[in-house]
Amino acid sequence: MAKYNRTYRDEGEKWRRFEIFKENVDFIDAFNQGGAQSYALAVNQFADLTNKEFVATYTGAKPSNISRLSPPSAPSPPPMRYANARGPPRSVDWRDRGAVTDVKDQGPCGNYCR
What tens digit of pLDDT does each residue of 52-96 get?
898 888 887 666 555 555 555 666 666 666 666 677 888 888 888
- Flag whether 113 is in a domain: no
What tens digit of pLDDT does each residue of 42-51 get?
999 999 999 9
**How many structural domains comprise the chain?**
1
Question: Per-residue confidence at 12, pLDDT binned at 50, 70, 90?
Answer: very high
- Flag whether 88 is in a domain: no
pTM for the whole structure: 0.55
- Flag whether 39 is in a domain: yes
- Flag whether 7 is in a domain: yes
- Flag whether 41 is in a domain: yes
- Flag whether 92 is in a domain: no
Q: What is the pLDDT of residue 73?
A: 62
- Flag whether 28 is in a domain: yes
Q: Which residues of 93-114 are buried (b: 16+ CB within 10 A; e: fewer)?
A: eeeeeeeeeeeeeeeeeeeeee
52: domain CATH number is 1.10.287.2250
> How many CB atoms are located within 10 Å of the residue 28 CB?
16
